[in-house]
């Protein structure tokens, strides 16, 4: 049995997304590496255009026995935060507008596809489990590209 990754959208509107994710290790499988947690161009309603991207505004999490790194997908995925094995923790980035996808340094739109990824460390134990809630904002890119 592979690791359990259960995603639930609590909200998916024109401007914001709230995504809940529960993860349970199976004790057999390898770590999740660059696992697609959210593809904004196929999983959201309405689908996001290439002129838009996601900003991570806030995260609430509780992880037991493993860490999870959040990344934006690109030719070279851009890791931007690690959620460590802790209980009842949150991070709020609203003060400075959130964490935007910086995986496409030249802004050409050719490297980044906007997907939100996770990579785990320690999930290989069957006792490893955790959950997190992401509050995301749908925003226009600073240098929009054509679809």
Please state the pTM of the whole predicted model: 0.88
> Would you state the structure tokens that stand for residue 88, as one six-digit string?
């009842």
Selection from 37, 32, 22 nearest residue 72 by Cα: 37
Among all chains, which residue has been given the structure tokens 């770590």? 31
22 sits in which H/E element: strand 16-24
Q: Which domains does the chain have, with CATH numbers?
A: 4-99+111-139 (2.60.120)
Q: Residue 100: what pLDDT?
A: 87
- Residues in contact with 26: Cβ distance below 8 Å, sequence separation at least 6, in sequence order: 1, 2, 3, 4, 126
Beta-strand (E) ranges in 65-146? 67-72, 78-83, 89-92, 99-100, 116-121, 129-140
Task: Going residue by residue through the chain, which has 147 residues, state the pLDDT in tens, using 9 for 90 and above.
Answer: 589 999 999 999 889 999 999 999 999 999 999 999 999 989 998 877 776 788 999 999 999 999 999 999 988 899 999 999 877 789 999 899 899 887 766 655 567 888 999 999 999 988 999 999 999 999 876 655 544
Q: Residue 147: what pLDDT?
A: 45
> Would you state the structure tokens that stand for residue 20, as one six-digit string?
């809940």
């Amino acid at each position: 049995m592979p690791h359990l990754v259960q995603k639930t959208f609590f909200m998916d509107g024109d401007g914001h997304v709230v995504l809940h994710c529960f993860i349970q290790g199976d004790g057999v499988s390898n770590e999740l590496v660059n696992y697609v947690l959210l593809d904004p161009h196929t999983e959201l309603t309405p689908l996001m255009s290439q002129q838009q991207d996601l900003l991570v505004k806030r995260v609430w999490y509780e992880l037991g026995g493993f860490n999870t790194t959040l990344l934006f997908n690109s030719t070279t995925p851009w890791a931007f935060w690690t959620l460590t094995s802790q209980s009842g923790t949150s991070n709020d980035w609203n003060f400075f507008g959130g964490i935007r996808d910086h995986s496409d340094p030249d802004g050409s739109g050719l490297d980044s596809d906007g997907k939100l990824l996770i990579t785990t460390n320690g999930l290989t134990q069957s006792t490893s489990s955790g959950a997190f809630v992401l509050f995301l904002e749908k925003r226009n890119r600073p240098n929009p590209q054509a679809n």
